[in-house]
């Protein structure tokens, strides 16, 4: 009996080992197959060809992912207009004809008004506050929720930092000087500008210089000293105003078609997320580095006056911002939900900002 029991026991052990080995082999084969699956994707952007930092950032992202994935995820990047028009990036990725896009959420305000909170809010948070909200304050979860009906997975990938107020062909000494002014200014800033009596115009970056130089618009905001000079805006207008009340920290997005995203193995998804965050930091620090140098050059130009908006103009624009946001929220429940979440976090963050950055800057001035 003892001998027979031992035979049965060892037979069961061998059987279980054989079954386990078979499952393990199948699992290993599946992992091996997934790790060698190749993906060739396209990315379209809203930026002009060869546009420094922005388009470069998109291309750096693709190159870095290709290296880290050992070629398993190969992304070909197209600038705005090369494959689809710049302002049709959202639709192309949403429909799945393109797997990825890079731009900023306020470009899609006509389709998704609440998406503007994930880009920049007039008199709102700077890059540090925005990224704190998105990564740790629930902002990114809300962003994903907003984009889900459009088959899109969003993630942050860059920030301009505080922008300049824009280029004008006349001095802005009071709010009356804004009335009737045709200005290229997107997003929520454009709505506030309209409330102030101006005429906001939405143009892709490649069209801005020509429109200003030919008098099709009277003013334009773009980004900051580095990009504005590269676009030649200092040759098309005389007065350069600060601060960028309308865009205190404009976030860029990497958007991915959700069906394409679901097909990526987990390791490739992690590479995409990690690289997007790393390139986001690269874009922001590039902006800070180049803007400080370009500002010195701009100040030396005799045909350009760098001016600060009058305090009373900024105060009125701030008041009109609150009115604009409250009105938009009263008409759109989705907009109100994001507005409330953004406001709750920004009010909390404001206390820390006053005791950190603002207090330190004040100490430097005194």
**122, burial (CB in 10 Å: exposed 0-12, middle 13-18, buried 19+):** buried
In total, the chain counts a number of residues equal to 366
pLDDT tens-digit series, residues 304-347: 999 999 999 999 999 999 999 999 999 999 999 999 999 999 99
User: Computed over its alpha carbons, how large is the radius of gyration of the chain?
Assistant: 26
Q: Are 277 and 214 in the same domain?
A: no
Into how many domains does the chain fold?
Answer: 2
Whether residue 7 has pLDDT greater than 50? no
Domain range for residue 151?
39-158+249-288
Give Cβ neighbours of residue 143 (< 8 Å, ≥ 6 apart).
105, 115, 118, 134, 154
Tell me, what's the pLDDT at 33? 55
User: Furthest-apart CA pair in the chain: how many Å?
Assistant: 106
Strand bridging mode 73-78 / 39-45 = parallel
CB 122 within 8 A of CB 246: yes
Q: Are 93 and 215 in the same domain?
A: no
**Is 266 a member of any domain?**
yes
How far is Cα 267 from Cα 256, in angstroms, rounded to an integer?
16
**Is 23 a member of any domain?**
no
Q: Give the number of other Cβ atoms within 10 Å of residue 46's Cβ.
A: 28
Q: Are 85 and 67 in the same domain?
A: yes
Q: Are 170 and 262 in the same domain?
A: no
**202, burial (CB in 10 Å: exposed 0-12, middle 13-18, buried 19+):** middle
Whether residue 77 has pLDDT greater than 90? yes
How far is Cα 290 from Cα 275, in angstroms, rounded to an integer?
22
Q: Which of 18-32, 122-136, 252-266, 287-301 has the lowest mean pLDDT?
A: 18-32
Q: Which of 2-16, 72-86, 172-186, 341-355 has the lowest mean pLDDT?
A: 2-16
Whether residue 362 has pLDDT greater than 50? yes
Give Cβ neighbours of residue 150 (< 8 Å, ≥ 6 apart).
90, 94, 111, 112
Rounded to two decimals, the pTM is 0.87
Helices and strands (H and E) in the chain: how many: 13, 11
Closest CA to 80 of 107, 46, 43, 54: 46
pLDDT tens-digit series, residues 158-205: 999 999 999 999 999 999 999 999 999 988 999 999 999 999 998 877
DSSP assigned state of 165: -
Q: Are 154 and 172 in the same domain?
A: no
Mean pLDDT of 56-79: 98
Q: Are 179 and 147 in the same domain?
A: no
CB 74 within 8 A of CB 66: yes
Q: Is 40 helix (H, G, I), strand (E, B) or coil?
A: strand
Which residues are bridge partners to 306 per DSSP?
A: 240
Closest CA to 178 of 124, 222, 219, 128: 219
DSSP assigned state of 355: I
Q: Are 52 and 111 in the same domain?
A: yes
The CA dihedral of 354, 358, 359, 363, to the nearest 10 degrees, is: -170
């Amino acid at each position: 009996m003892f001998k027979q029991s031992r035979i049965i026991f060892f037979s069961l052990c061998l059987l279980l080992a054989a079954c386990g080995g078979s499952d393990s082999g199948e699992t290993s084969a599946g992992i091996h197959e997934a790790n060698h699956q190749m993906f060739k994707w396209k990315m379209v952007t809203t930026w002009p060809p060869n546009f420094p930092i922005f388009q470069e950032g998109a291309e750096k992202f693709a190159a870095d992912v290709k290296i880290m994935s050992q070629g398993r995820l190969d992304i070909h990047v197209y600038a705005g207009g090369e494959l689809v028009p710049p302002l049709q990036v959202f639709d192309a990725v949403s429909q799945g004809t393109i797997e990825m896009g890079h731009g900023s959420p306020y470009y899609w305000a006509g389709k998704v008004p609440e998406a503007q909170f994930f880009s920049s809010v007039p008199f709102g948070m700077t890059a540090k506050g925005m990224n704190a909200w998105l990564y740790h304050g629930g902002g990114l979860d809300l962003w994903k929720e907003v984009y889900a009906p459009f088959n899109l997975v969003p993630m942050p990938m860059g920030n301009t930092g505080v922008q300049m107020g824009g280029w004008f062909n006349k001095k802005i000494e009071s709010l009356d000087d804004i009335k009737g002014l045709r200005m290229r200014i997107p997003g929520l800033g454009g709505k506030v500008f309209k409330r102030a009596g101006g005429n906001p115009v939405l143009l892709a970056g490649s069209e801005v210089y020509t429109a200003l130089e030919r008098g099709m618009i009277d003013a334009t905001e773009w980004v900051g000293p580095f990009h504005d000079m590269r676009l030649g805006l200092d040759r098309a207008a005389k007065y350069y105003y600060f601060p960028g009340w309308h865009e205190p920290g404009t976030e860029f997005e990497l958007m991915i078609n959700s069906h394409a995203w679901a097909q990526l193995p987990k390791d490739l998804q992690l590479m995409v997320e990690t690289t997007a965050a790393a390139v986001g930091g690269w874009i922001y620090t590039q902006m800070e580095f180049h803007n400080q140098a370009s500002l010195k050059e701009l100040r030396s130009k005799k045909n350009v006056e760098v001016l600060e908006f009058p305090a009373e103009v900024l105060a009125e624009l701030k008041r009109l911002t609150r009115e604009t946001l409250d009105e938009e929220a009263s008409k759109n429940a989705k907009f109100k939900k994001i507005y409330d979440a953004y406001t709750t976090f920004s009010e909390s963050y404001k206390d820390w900002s006053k005791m950190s950055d603002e207090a330190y800057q004040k100490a430097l001035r005194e």
